[in-house]
Amino acid sequence: MTKRIIDSMTADQIITGWDSSQKDVAEYIESICKPEPSWEADVSKDNPVLCWVSNEPIPESGGEPFNRGTDYVFEITEKGYMAMRGYPWNCARPISPDEIWQPVKKGE
């Protein structure tokens, strides 16, 4: 089942999300009932996505580092997640901004 944008919204977010000066209620409801965007829909050779890759299921990030591997996924086929290294992976999950190195010494 495809998750819709509205499925992850609270009642308050739904009510306060509509701005009568921008569109009518029907257009607003239609816009929030669309499928939730997926990183997989944006993958292409022109837009590769940096991912954790593995042939085993990848856990969601909980602040713990993932030690399988990284690669740029550029295509999704029946063989798997096609990556720049030329290997099809069974599993891929984008690397979140929170998992990327952040400076801590502030130039010291």
Q: What is the pLDDT of residues 16-71, one digit of tens each?
A: 888 777 778 888 888 888 887 788 888 999 999 999 888 887 666 554 545 578 89
Helix (H, G, I), strand (E, B) or coil at 12: helix
CA–CA distance, 53 with 74 (Å, rounded to integer): 12
pTM exceeds 0.85, yes or no: no
Provide the phi-psi class of 80: left if phi over 0, else alpha when psi is between -120 and 50, else beta.
left
Q: Which residues pair with 49 in a beta bridge?
A: 73
* 65/104 Cα distance (integer angstroms): 17
- pLDDT recorded at residue 67: 54
